[in-house]
Amino acid sequence: MAVNESLRVLKTIHYDEGHYSLFLSAGAIGARTKPGHFAMIQAGEGLRPYLRRAFSIADVTTMAGVPALEFVIKIVGVGTAALARFAEGTPLPVLGPLGVPFPIDDLLHSDRVALVAGGIGLAPLVLLARTLAARGIAADLFYGGRNENDVLKRGDFERFLGPHRCRYATDDGSLGRKGRVTELLTHALARGGRYRRVYACGPVAMFRALATLLADANLEGSFAMESEMACGFGVCLGCVVPMTDGRFATICKEGPCVPPTAIDWARL
Amino acid sequence: MAVNESLRVLKTIHYDEGHYSLFLSAGAIGARTKPGHFAMIQAGEGLRPYLRRAFSIADVTTMAGVPALEFVIKIVGVGTAALARFAEGTPLPVLGPLGVPFPIDDLLHSDRVALVAGGIGLAPLVLLARTLAARGIAADLFYGGRNENDVLKRGDFERFLGPHRCRYATDDGSLGRKGRVTELLTHALARGGRYRRVYACGPVAMFRALATLLADANLEGSFAMESEMACGFGVCLGCVVPMTDGRFATICKEGPCVPPTAIDWARL
Amino acid sequence: MTVDLSTAFGRLRLKNPIATASGTFGYGLEFADYLDLASLGAISVKGLSRRPCHGNPPPRICETDAGMLNAIGLQNVGIDAFLAEKLPELARLGATVIANVWGDTEEDYVAVVERIGHERRVAAVEVNVSCPNVVRGGMVFGNNPEALAALVKRIRSATRHPLVVKLSPNVTDIVASARAAVDAGADALSLINTLVGLAIDLERREPKIGFTTGGLSGPAIRPIALRMVWEVRTALPKIPIFGMGGIETVEHVVEFLVAGANAVQIGTANFRDPSLAGRLVGELAAWCESHDVARVSDLVGTLRTRPRKDHSFA
Amino acid sequence: MTVDLSTAFGRLRLKNPIATASGTFGYGLEFADYLDLASLGAISVKGLSRRPCHGNPPPRICETDAGMLNAIGLQNVGIDAFLAEKLPELARLGATVIANVWGDTEEDYVAVVERIGHERRVAAVEVNVSCPNVVRGGMVFGNNPEALAALVKRIRSATRHPLVVKLSPNVTDIVASARAAVDAGADALSLINTLVGLAIDLERREPKIGFTTGGLSGPAIRPIALRMVWEVRTALPKIPIFGMGGIETVEHVVEFLVAGANAVQIGTANFRDPSLAGRLVGELAAWCESHDVARVSDLVGTLRTRPRKDHSFA
Ligand SMILES: Cc1cc2nc3c(=O)[nH]c(=O)nc-3n(C[C@H](O)[C@H](O)[C@H](O)COP(=O)(O)OP(=O)(O)OC[C@H]3O[C@@H](n4cnc5c(N)ncnc54)[C@H](O)[C@@H]3O)c2cc1C
Ligand SMILES: Cc1cc2nc3c(=O)[nH]c(=O)nc-3n(C[C@H](O)[C@H](O)[C@H](O)COP(=O)(O)OP(=O)(O)OC[C@H]3O[C@@H](n4cnc5c(N)ncnc54)[C@H](O)[C@@H]3O)c2cc1C
Ligand SMILES: Cc1cc2nc3c(=O)[nH]c(=O)nc-3n(C[C@H](O)[C@H](O)[C@H](O)COP(=O)(O)O)c2cc1C
Ligand SMILES: Cc1cc2nc3c(=O)[nH]c(=O)nc-3n(C[C@H](O)[C@H](O)[C@H](O)COP(=O)(O)O)c2cc1C
Ligand code: FES
Ligand code: FES
């Protein structure tokens, strides 16, 4: 069950390239959050932005001893810009945790999984990596960005999963392999890697390529999708994507984590 | 000629009862400002408030050694509330100085004048008091508020005009005489005070009473009027008041300082 | 002072004048975690059709200044699933349910209200003749008083439920629409639905909405909605009116009542804050108390207007 | 790359597509301190009438969410004073002047354009048939295609100036208005004027505007304005259009061009920032350059719409 509450800004850490981590007090949302959940945050009382904005709950952690939710955010417009500027202590209305999280309860100790992140798509994978590590499930991370500065929170991932399990790709080769993140996965598979499931978050182009790749390799996937959202809890019917069964499904309620085989990529 | 420029917030001093002084860098506006002038200030980039707000330039002074404009503001709605919250250094778009200032050039050394302020109507009288003092023209201040906390910047007035020339009235008697500010003036006139001109700023009810009083006493007045303004420089024609000649005149361009005899108080 | 919030609305008596608007409140159940459904005056559920409907292809929504555009295309589970799966639960939770209905043809509308039949857990039927996001039906009825009257007549003869007709604001003369609906048998009116708007994705030079245009809602349209409520109230002093359009605060609620609405519906603001509608009930009582209003109905239509004097020449 | 900003607008050739909207730019001269009047594509001056006009009693304006209401009531110095006192100065400053005109009756309109006669310092006449803030005239013409056509015909035969007709958005069918104006002889269209709205002073329970209702302008109405420009452009591919309604940034300017406007007018935003219109000219050139657009006219009407597919059923 989601909670509609007011959370305080604890800290904002700015990275390069207009990325930042926003730490909010955990409230009642923290204890309920599972990897893949998201929250709707109202960026202030003004009219611009008007609606709340959706963000993956990147981590449930502590900040200066206080239970905290971490969001990792990329500035792309008014809402993400406004959220970067709030003073510590500012109360923000937050609704969460929302949506269908990543399926992980069925994983066995012997399973190995893959995490695929493109750009800001790292966000939901942080808590996933932490949770898998705590359960002792082996996971390989494949993480691509435009350049080195675009690849965030490497320390966390390498701590949770082990540095040797984290592979990077960048468009300009400034970190890891030069090229696409999907190529990292292709290579791993070619070298005999087998995965019980591939968890992924990134831009639509990455999802498309990955969906094909997984279908060809007959691998199961869980994609944390994005879509423009007005409500975040299934009532506006604005955030839908076309499904293979002909329906339009809400990403906020039937997702954000969906099997790629359920999405009608041709109509998307 | 008014200037459209960006001025930095230098300091905000909060008083009781939701009043504050806002100090902005003086820019090119400072040197052009005369007592009674006002400026249109945009309270941030958002949509609420949408339009600029009008404020008397209360003083041209310095703040921490930097040339500054002082505004004395009462919180009554979104714009005045937003302006109270800007961090030091924030740039704000300001248009000014605007309007017709108080007529003072024709005053002689031997003239004595009266300044009448009601509530936040003190604002334009600060710079007027300073200027008259600098020119050696004697001025009596009559200043009324709801209570002691509502009567602002007494130190400045008493320094410029001399403490004995400053008389106060409050609704609850917590400062000065209990009653209306107009009664202070009535008494002064009854005790034989003669004034070359009465400069006034306050709520409409005060203006109405004062207009009658001045007409009866055959005294000249100059009232700094208010009106809701969209532009502040005579183009929207939104800020008009009815004139005795049958026209509607813009307060922003033909005012804000107008002789009370020009206003059609019955139609206002 | 205890304030009387109860609201006579034609044959209905609402607990209070705070209802929620169709399409912005799902089937109500989705809000049960955030407010007490029984505390609301009424809830109007997502527009129901004869058959389940998939709605329009995405993208369906985008934010605009002080509002949003939507072209959902009336996706819904269909009247049968609603009656079987949603209504019993709503009734159990004590909600006063308004069934918002639509169709592509007169027959479609009639089929839906006939399926509702004498269902007593439906307090009223709200007919959406004003959806701008469909090619057939929708605004074709809402923007043409003759077509509207014909449709309302047919629906009227097919149901004994209180009949609320929801008008389109995309018209030259809202009073003409209102009269047509009332003369054809409407018991009450809802106004306003969304205004047709367009937003452009500049990098692609494409509309931001898949259907090209969408319906504009939110604070941006409030002055237009208030004006239309006032115009209809002035022309038709007796007809019960649900006012809506950009309501976000208790002051906005009271403004609509003063302009002439008997009750209001909260729309897009439910997305911003799913607890809002519930909170407004309490805030309305407090507002009335602090303003010495004993009965909320005393506020309705109390706008004091002056005779309209316009320009004079020199 | 030097970008060609020049804009063919029927018989007119504008330096660039950035003009300013009537009633929001005074007589232009008031802005001379804040921008170079000669740098603008055109300026449409405050609506001029046969005789000087005092306008409506105050209060005349109020702020609303993302916009404002106004009921100025067309206060102006009158056509004679304009021609004698304002126009020569405007011409000296190099402004391209559009005379916006209005009247209570057909005769009034004709009288104004006859007074303009062959005045070559007036580049075009813009007929305001859409002012919502007067009891007579104004919207009576704008909201009725027959009355509009009759009026435009009479004005057409009274002037040889390029004739721009400014349409009211308070209509069911903006294309019908547009066709009526064009068929009656309009050379170009301006859209949109303000939408009729109401705002309430709750403590007094009175309208915030003395005239009760006022015209809504500003960002709030932009989606509606864009939609109407697109609808008219789609129906009438050749007619020159001034688009306006809530334009504040260079992106908004380009959106209107892409939707089908040949040029735009900046309105309420001039109050927020009197230097804006001048700055937008430079920003438009920069936008075009960064987007590889060699001629601004290449943008006009380039919105890529898909065939409208609406809901499907299960
Ligand atoms: C379930 C979910 C989880 C998300 N998690 C994160 C996250 O952890 N970190 C993060 O930085 N972003 C995340 N996003 C994306 C984030 O919601 C958008 O970046 C944000 O809404 C943009 O708001 P804005 O006001 O800054 O941009 P706007 O000014 O509204 O728009 C700028 C651009 O962003 C696009 N956009 C707007 N909303 C969305 C959206 N919901 N999804 C995708 N694109 C959008 C617009 O189409 C436009 O092109 C998530 C989105 C969803 C749906
Ligand atoms: C020439 C001039 C000089 C002024 N000088 C000062 C000053 O030095 N200090 C100061 O505190 N205020 C001054 N004012 C008043 C100030 O402009 C308003 O208080 C302010 O615009 C209110 O903005 P808001 O967003 O806070 O209120 P809103 O939320 O817009 O409105 C709140 C209330 O204030 C009223 N109001 C709005 N605008 C005005 C206005 N322009 N004049 C009067 N009432 C208004 C509204 O009708 C409403 O009742 C001056 C006004 C003018 C015209
Ligand atoms: C996403 C969305 C979906 C809507 N769906 C419907 C609907 O199915 N039936 C209907 O009558 N109105 C529908 N409306 C219109 C609203 O009920 C309401 O009339 C309108 O949004 C104005 O109110 P608001 O500004 O408070 O949102 C919808 C509005 C929105 C924003
Ligand atoms: C205060 C004010 C006065 C106006 N006066 C006129 C007028 O005299 N003639 C006219 O054709 N339009 C007039 N308009 C309408 C504007 O020219 C413009 O069509 C409208 O405001 C929409 O554009 P905007 O949202 O950019 O302001 C006026 C608008 C405002 C806000
Ligand atoms: S965002 Fe409203 S239904 Fe998904
Ligand atoms: S505020 Fe616009 S004319 Fe005075």
- 3-state secondary structure (DSSP) of residue B139: strand
Please report residues of C whose CB lies closer than 8 A to that of B51.
none
Does the beta carbon of C8 lie under 8 angstroms from any beta carbon of chain B?
no
Cβ-Cβ pairs closer than 8 A, A with D, add up to 4
Position D307 scores a pLDDT of: 85
Instruction: State the average pLDDT over residues C215-223.
Output: 98
Count how many Cα atoms sit within 13 Å of the Cα of residue A228 in the half-sphere of its side chain. Answer: 19
Helices (H), C73-144: 79-81, 87-92, 106-116, 139-142
Query: What is the rounded radius of gyration, in angstroms, for the C-alpha atoms of chain B?
Result: 18
CA of B68 to the centre of ligand 1 (A): 41
| Cβ of B49 below 6 Å from ligand 2 | yes
Pairing mode of beta strands D241-243, D263-266: parallel
Domain A112-224 -> CATH class:
alpha beta
Bridge-based pairing of strands B66-74 and B19-25 is: antiparallel
B38-41 and B91-98 strand pairing? antiparallel
Contact between chains at D313 and C52 (C-beta distance less than 8 A): yes
CATH code 2.40.30.10 region(s) in chain A? 3-98
Q: Please state the atom number of ligand 4 nearest to the C-alpha of residue D221.
A: 25
- Name the residue with the closest Cα to ligand 4, atom 23: D245
User: Are C271 and A239 within 8 A, CB to CB?
Assistant: no
Distance of CA C114 to the CA centre of its chain: 21
pTM exceeding the 0.80 threshold for the entire prediction: yes
Give residue-wise pLDDT tens across range C22-39.
999 999 999 999 999 999
B237 lines ligand 6 (CB under 6 A): yes
pLDDT 10s digits, B183-206: 999 999 999 889 999 999 999 999
Give start-end residues of each CATH 3.40.50.80 domain in chain B: 112-224
How many C-beta neighbours within 10 Å does residue A119 have? 21
Secondary-structure percent of chain B, ordered helix, strand, coil, rounded to 5:
25, 35, 40
Q: Supply the pLDDT for residue B133.
A: 97
C:29-88 residues touching chain B, CB 8 A cutoff: 65-66
Supply D100's token pair: 């916006």
Q: Which tokens sit at B206? A: 């005060």
Residue A210 pLDDT exceeds 70: yes
| Cβ of residue C278 closer than 8 Å to a chain A Cβ | no
pLDDT at C137: 59
What number is the average pLDDT over the span A96-117? 97
Give the pair of three-digit tokens for residue A68. Answer: 């905290």
Structure token digits, residue C209:
């909405």
Q: CA of A88, closest CA in chain B: separation in Å?
A: 14
* H runs (alpha helix) in chain C: 79-81, 87-92, 106-116, 139-142, 145-158, 174-183, 222-235, 250-259, 269-272, 276-290
Q: What does the pLDDT average to over A224-251?
A: 97
Catalytic residues of D: 131
ipTM: 0.97
The per-residue pLDDT for A231 is 98
Beta strands per DSSP E along chain C: 7-9, 12-14, 18-20, 42-44, 53-55, 61-64, 67-70, 97-101, 122-128, 163-166, 188-191, 195-198, 200-201, 206-207, 213-217, 241-243, 263-266, 312-313
For residues B44 and D253, the model is more confident at D253
Q: Indicate if the alpha-carbon torsion angle B167, B173, B179, B180 is positive or negative.
A: positive
> What's the pLDDT score for residue D1?
74
Residue D277: phi, psi to the nearest 5? Answer: -55, -40
pLDDT score, position C135: 67
- D310 confidence band (pLDDT: 50, 70, 90): confident
Q: CA C236, CA D230: separation in Å to the nearest integer? A: 35
Question: Is there an atom of ligand 1 within 6 Å of A48 CB?
Answer: no
Residue D137 has pLDDT above 70, yes or no: no
Contact in structure between B151 and B168 (CB atoms under 8 Å): yes
| pLDDT value at D139 more than 80 | no
Note the pLDDT of residue A68. 98
Distance from the CA of C25 to the center of ligand 3, in angstroms? 9
pLDDT band at C170 (very low <50, low <70, confident <90, very high): very high
D202 in contact with A at a CB cutoff of 8 Å? no
Query: What number of other Cβ atoms are within 10 A of residue C84's Cβ?
Result: 11
Average pLDDT, chain A: 97
Structure confidence at residue C311 (pLDDT): 79
For ligand 5, is residue A162 a contact (CB within 6 Å)? no
D partners (3+ CB pairs within 8 A) are A, B, C
pLDDT value for D126: 98
pLDDT tens digits, B45-73: 899 999 999 999 999 999 999 999 999 99
- Residue C63 beta carbon below 6 angstroms from any ligand 1 atom: yes
Contacts of B166 (CB under 8 A, 6+ apart): B140, B141, B143, B154, B157, B158
Taking Cα atoms as reference points, which of C162, C130, C226, C157 lies closest to residue C9? C162
Q: Grade residue D312 by pLDDT with cuts at 50, 70 and 90.
A: confident
Q: How many helices (H) and strands (E) does chain D have?
A: 10, 18
Q: Is the pLDDT of residue A10 over 90?
A: yes
Q: Which residue of chain B comes nearest to A45, CA vs CA?
A: B48
pLDDT computed for residue D306 by the predictor: 87
Nearest to B230, CA basis, from B4, B50, B1, B38: B50
CB A117 within 8 A of CB A139: no
In a mutational test of the pocket of ligand 5, which residue from A231, A241, A247, A258 has the highest number of ligand atoms less than 8 Å from its CB? A231
The distance of Cα C269 from the centroid of its chain, to the nearest Å, equals 13
Q: Which CATH architecture has domain A3-98?
A: Beta Barrel (2.40)
Residues of A with CB under 8 A from a CB of D: 47, 246-247
**Cα dihedral C172→C178→C179→C181 (10° resolution):** 120
Rounded mean pLDDT, B60-87? 97
Atom of ligand 6 nearest to the CA of B252: 4
Using a CB-CB cut-off of 8 Å, the residues of chain A touching B46 are 46-48
Residue A257 CB partners (closer than 8 Å, separation 6+): A36, A99, A100, A101, A102, A103, A124, A222, A223, A224, A225
B47 closest CA partner among C278, A82, D291: A82
User: Exposed, middle or buried: residue B17 (CB in 10 Å: 0-12, 13-18, 19+)?
Assistant: middle
Residue D1, chain A, CB below 8 Å: the answer is no
Please list the alpha-helical segments (H only) found in A20-103.
29-32, 78-83
Whether C314 and B246 lie within 8 Å, measured CB to CB:
yes
Which chain D residue shows the shortest CA-CA distance from B229? Answer: D61
Domains and CATH numbers, chain D: 7-56+72-197+216-299 (3.20.20.70)
Query: For residues A230 and A182, what is the distance between their CA atoms, to the nearest angstrom?
Result: 31
- Cα D291 to Cα D8: distance, rounded to the nearest angstrom: 21
For residue D272, give the chain B residue with the closest CA: B51
Higher pLDDT, D152 or A17: D152
- For chain B, what is the mean pLDDT? 97
Residue of chain C nearest B247, judged by CA positions? C314
C108-117, D86-95, D301-310 — which is least confidently predicted?
D301-310
Candidates C53, C62, C131, C288; catalytic one: C131
Instruction: Tell me what the mean pLDDT of segment A101-111 comes to.
Output: 96
pLDDT tens for each residue of C60-76: 999 999 999 999 999 99
Q: Residue D282's pLDDT is what?
A: 98
Question: pLDDT grade, residue D314 (50/70/90)?
Answer: confident
Q: Which of A239, A247, A248, A258 to mutate to test the pocket of ligand 5 (most atoms within 8 A of CB)?
A: A239
Nearest to D307 by CA among C210, B52, A88, C222: C210
pLDDT category of residue D131 using cuts at 50, 70 and 90: confident
* Residue A156 parent element (H or E): helix A154-161
Closest CA to B53 of B68, B73, B34, B31: B73
Q: Is A232 in the pocket of ligand 5 (CB under 6 A)?
A: yes
Cβ(B259)–Cβ(B106) below 8 Å: no
> Which of A76, A94, A150, A201 for mutating ligand 1's site (highest number of atoms within 8 Å of CB)?
A76
Instruction: Give the mean pLDDT of A99-109.
Output: 97
pLDDT in tens, A160-181: 999 999 999 999 999 999 999 9
Least confident of B251-255, C143-147, C272-276, D268-272: C143-147
Comparing CB atoms, the residue among A47, A246, A247 nearest residue D65 is A47
Q: How many CB pairs under 8 A join A and C?
A: 93
D136 in contact with chain C, both atoms CB, cutoff 8 A: yes
Mark out the alpha helices in chain D (DSSP H runs): 79-81, 87-92, 106-116, 139-142, 145-158, 174-183, 222-235, 250-259, 269-272, 276-290
Query: What pLDDT is recorded for position B187?
Result: 95
Is D124 strand, coil or helix? Answer: strand
Check B47 against C314: CB less than 8 A apart.
no
- Say if CB D267 and CB D67 are below 8 A apart: no
Give D-chain residues touching B93 at CB under 8 angstroms.
Answer: 273
Atom 12 in ligand 3: residue holding the nearest Cα: C22
pLDDT tens, position by position, D61-90: 999 999 999 999 999 999 999 999 999 999
Collapse the DSSP code of D194 into the 3-class scheme (helix H, G, I; strand E, B; otherwise coil) and give the result.
coil
Residue D201: closest CA among C240, B236, C302: C302
The answer to whether the CB of A225 is under 6 A from ligand 5 is no
pLDDT band at C41 (very low <50, low <70, confident <90, very high): very high
Rg (CA), chain D: 19
